[in-house]
Amino acid sequence: MSLTRGGGPLAPDASTRVNYHIDSPERCLYLHQFPRRVRAEFGGRTVVDSRQGFLLHESNLLPVFYFPWDDIAESLLVATEHTTHCPFKGEASYWTLRVGDAVAHNAVWSYLDPVPAARWLRGLAAMYWSAAHAWYDEEEKVHAHLRDPFHRVDVRQSSDIVRVSLGEEVVAVSSYPKVLSETGLPNRYYLPPEGIHSDLLVPSRTRTRCPYKGEASYWNVRVGERELADAAWSYNHPLKDAHDVREYVCFNHDELTIAREEQP
């Protein structure tokens, strides 16, 4: 499980069914060494290249990659007057990243004088993930964010019957679905293509990227004059964690009824 999200041991909604007590502040921080080389490219240049980086886990937030100042091309940074304050980390100073005509304003930040409880942030900097043009974990290009080593995705064959309906219209039904369990998220049922009324699906232009599952393609669900935007998705070329649901379709929308029952 993730440490600081989804019911993890350092999350605000951590389980009380434990034999220990954690005396922690309102927001928990946990910094640990990231085990691989991480690089960031911007404007055609490598601007971050770190083998000594860290992941900072913070309550209810995605982990953030921090790296020593020696691992960033400081000659490409311009200090700004922008600052932000965090009661748990201190005051952050910011730098704009400039490579030729490419500029990312306030892209890099650092806690030059962190609060005592987070003193280990001194000497480290971070960069907004969206500011870079590309990120690499070793030689693999990374989308969305670095993979959290405490995050899991598991896929299992299910024997349940899953039926998806919009009003009285059955959109999909399968007695051979797969259930995908992902840290901090509810179980999702993925249905094989042969169980889906494809004439009720309208391709959407929406695409999302997950560092664990890959890029998802979406469909709208249309029944008569009703159309639900981005109510279904699938991974046609998934990463290995979602390989077992390749080309299966998952449905999720407030107006859909997703019913599950055990087979007799």
Indicate whether 2 pLDDT > 80. Answer: no
Which pLDDT belongs to residue 179?
97
Contacts 24+ apart (CB under 8 A), 199-206: 200/166, 200/169, 200/171, 201/232, 201/249, 202/227, 204/229, 204/230, 206/230
Mean of pLDDT values over 180-201:
95
Residue with tokens 């870079």: 132
SS3 (DSSP) at 104: strand
Indicate whether 45 pLDDT > 70. Answer: yes
pLDDT tens digits along 51-64:
999 999 998 888 99
Mean of pLDDT values over 63-77:
97
Domains with residue ranges and CATH for the chain? 29-142 (2.170.150.40), 153-261 (2.170.150.40)
CA-wise closest residue to 187 among 197, 195, 177: 177
* Nearby residues of 210 by Cβ (< 8 Å), 6 or more positions away: 143, 144, 216, 239, 242
Indicate whether 24 pLDDT > 80. Answer: no
Which pLDDT belongs to residue 264?
76
- Alpha-carbon span 97 to 16, nearest angstrom: 45
- Residue 131's φ and ψ, nearest 5 degrees, are -75, -35
pTM comes to 0.83
Mean of pLDDT values over 132-155:
92
pLDDT-derived band of residue 6, with 50, 70 and 90 as boundaries? confident
- Alpha-carbon span 122 to 92, nearest angstrom: 11
Average pLDDT of the residues of the chain: 94
How much of the chain exceeds pLDDT 90, in percent? Answer: 83
Which pLDDT belongs to residue 1?
53
- Alpha-carbon span 239 to 251, nearest angstrom: 20
pLDDT-derived band of residue 123, with 50, 70 and 90 as boundaries? very high
